[in-house]
Structure 1
């Protein structure tokens, strides 16, 4: 199996484990503090990889700047907002359906900002994917006492999704060239520069040094920050951002399966039905179509 076929599968699996990691990480550190530590370690490891493999660094200051900004958007604001919101009491089910907004927002923005043209089947796929996520998680949402959920934290969670959509578009528009390894290194430098001061301002910066912390941090860095993010950058650069973003639809259902295994959370019939619909949506969005001459980014691939 080629990397082009394997990359989406690996990305969805690795990215979905972030939900489980967030639950484990909360036992050992405050959310933003853990993320700052994670970004610092990821930046150092990526830098070492770049040195060992002779990766080429950007030659123009603008390229450095764009890499830092994309890291602030994709990792700093996005994960920072989501992890902080969950730490404030936003249930994973609600955070999951908010995550389902991202492919829709990205698809709409991509058509306007980077010239992507969505076919009718792709538009239907994005819509079906969101409906599938809603079917999968809404029963859990309705089971939660709405008055117990901090409204401001929900707003922050939604804002985080807007930032990851913006970061994906920014990545496609300004970082379509250059070595992915050095781009990722600079992205984590940008994310760390934002997250560390934020952690200092809003948290006690609690860290409980233990084997559990190092195990959770190890997977967060190697599996997600390095593995999943490199795959995401590869997918964005290789194809349309709408197609890459649509894979996010598969993340909440898979995360629910992982949570059932790790924490004994219940899998429901609604969740399985919604997942099946989301899979159909992702297929429609990602299946090969012949781009028209005016189809923007797709026509230049």
Structure 2
């Protein structure tokens, strides 16, 4: 379980790096739309090949909503905010609120409780992430892209992701994961198409790099990262999995240091260590943890 948790964090952090690689090759929501569509077809093919059961018609809307929240709206709002000028440092800072939001939503919607140690771990992890992004905050806050609109879009992105994470713990958790993710990715692609039309995006450079980035997104980010996230959500508390993702932005900063030769300050390194400590305290998976089957609504 611990290995899969760390693999999820590693793949999730690569999503930040991929966002830098696609610049100049593919517009963000064009990339997301193609990625979700292809990932949906991959999961659909696997489900049909393995003869996995598909949700009943009355359950289908729940899977569609989950995909719209976790895929289309989350990344759509985030990319729109960034496209409108919201700096990545501010977006990462807003993202630090996600574990707290998931903890509250999970308690209100599915009666999932978090221990006092878990809450302390979430607070420590959030503090660590603030330290990681703090060197960029002074510059970011003076950026003209920080407005009520962009901040609202960033907050909406984290809110819908938190709702999507919590929603994965409802009755859809008892469905087959391959057929469910097929529906969720196809629903996400429809939302991404809407953002493409809204923003007027059209860039797709016909080079091997573009196709390699799409393949990476389909098989690693969606086929690996999102699959692992949904699988872990079925095996543990939503707050545990959400807190793990606090490690993704600091790890992305480390990856950028080696890949893009970006600098890392001492305070960022300290923040990374603090975040690890908070996540370890909050999100350690109990031995033998299993998914708690939830009654259908």
The normalised TM-score by structure 1 is 0.91
SS of residue in 2 equivalent to 1:124: helix
Which residue pairs with 2:280 in the alignment?
283
SS of residue in 1 equivalent to 2:76: helix
CA distance in 2, matches of 1:298, 1:172: 9
**Unmatched 5+ residue regions in structure 2?**
none
**Unmatched 5+ residue regions in structure 1?**
291-296
The CA deviation at 1:288 is: 5.3
Q: How many residues align?
A: 290
Of the three residues 66, 89, 105, the one matched with 1:70 is 66
SS of residue in 2 equivalent to 1:266: coil
The CA deviation at 1:36 is: 0.8
SS of residue in 2 equivalent to 1:85: helix
Of the three residues 162, 169, 172, the one matched with 2:169 is 172
The CA deviation at 1:48 is: 1.5
Which residue pairs with 1:260 in the alignment?
257
Of the three residues 122, 128, 141, the one matched with 2:118 is 122
CA distance in 2, matches of 1:55, 1:298: 21
Matches within 5 A, 1:141-160: 141-144=137-140, 146-151=142-147, 152-160=149-157
Q: Say whether the 8 Å CA contact 2:102–2:165 is kept in structure 1.
A: yes
SS of residue in 1 equivalent to 2:14: helix
Moved more, 190-199 or 121-130: 190-199
CA distance in 2, matches of 1:253, 1:281: 13
Of the three residues 243, 246, 271, the one matched with 1:246 is 243
The CA deviation at 1:190 is: 0.8
Matches within 5 A, 1:1-301: 4-58=1-55, 60-144=56-140, 146-151=142-147, 152-287=149-284
The CA deviation at 1:77 is: 0.5
Which residue pairs with 1:293 in the alignment?
none
SS of residue in 2 equivalent to 1:61: coil
Alignment RMSD (CA, Å): 1.8
CA distance in 1, matches of 2:16, 2:151: 16
CA distance in 1, matches of 2:271, 2:208: 37
Q: Say whether the 8 Å CA contact 2:9–2:247 is kept in structure 1.
A: yes
